[in-house]
A = this chain, B = another copy of it.
Amino acid sequence: MNFNLSKEPIVIQDVIDKVIKRNAGAVTTFIGTVREMTKGKKTLFLVYEAYEPMAIKKLEQIGAEIKERWPDAETAITHRVGKLDITDVAVVIAVSTPHRNDAYEANRYAIERIKEIVPIWKKEHWEDGETWVGNQLETVPYPTGKPKEGDIRD
């Protein structure tokens, strides 16, 4: 089970352990945590919601895409769902490869793809309201379901 969702806090070491191999000299992890301030606005907490069976399938697909591009890579991804407080871990991506450049590149590929194709949504709760954050690039709160044009990648 290298790709899954978790209602409980993610244990980072458990995700790393899934990719440690005798011939993997390099492991990278990406850990997404809940940030307090976004563009001057203070977040109190977040809620992540997922279309769970499809989200797992899409995480598995990302693992398969990485395997195709970096055949020696091993990938594990766990994404949290439910309510998260500031500094809580939302996602952990671990990638092992024999050489370090691949481990960075494959890891970065994974996070970009998560933000494109995995059906998980974040609702930000602020002091003065709440909004589903609606474009996958995390740059624009998106209460109407209609992204503005010209959003750029974070």
Contacts and interface: CB of A to CB of B under 8 A. Distances in A.
A100 B35 CA distance: 12
A12 B22 contact: no
Contact of A22 (B22, B27, B28, B36): B36
A87 interface: yes
Contacts of A36: 22-23
A56 interface: no
A120 interface: no
Nearest to A31: B27
A78 interface: no
B27 A30 contact: yes
Interface string A13-50: 10010001111111111111111110000000000000
Of the candidates A30, A86, A98, the one having the most CB atoms from chain B within 10 angstroms of its own CB is: A30
A99 interface: yes
Interface in A27-84: 27-37
For the complex of A and B, the 4 pairs showing the least CB-CB separation, nearest first, are A25-B35, A27-B31, A22-B36, A29-B29
22 contacts: A12-B12, A12-B13, A20-B33, A20-B87, A21-B87, A22-B86, A22-B87, A25-B32, A26-B31, A27-B29, A27-B30, A27-B31, A28-B30, A28-B107, A29-B29, A29-B31, A30-B103, A30-B104, A32-B100, A33-B96, A100-B111, A104-B108
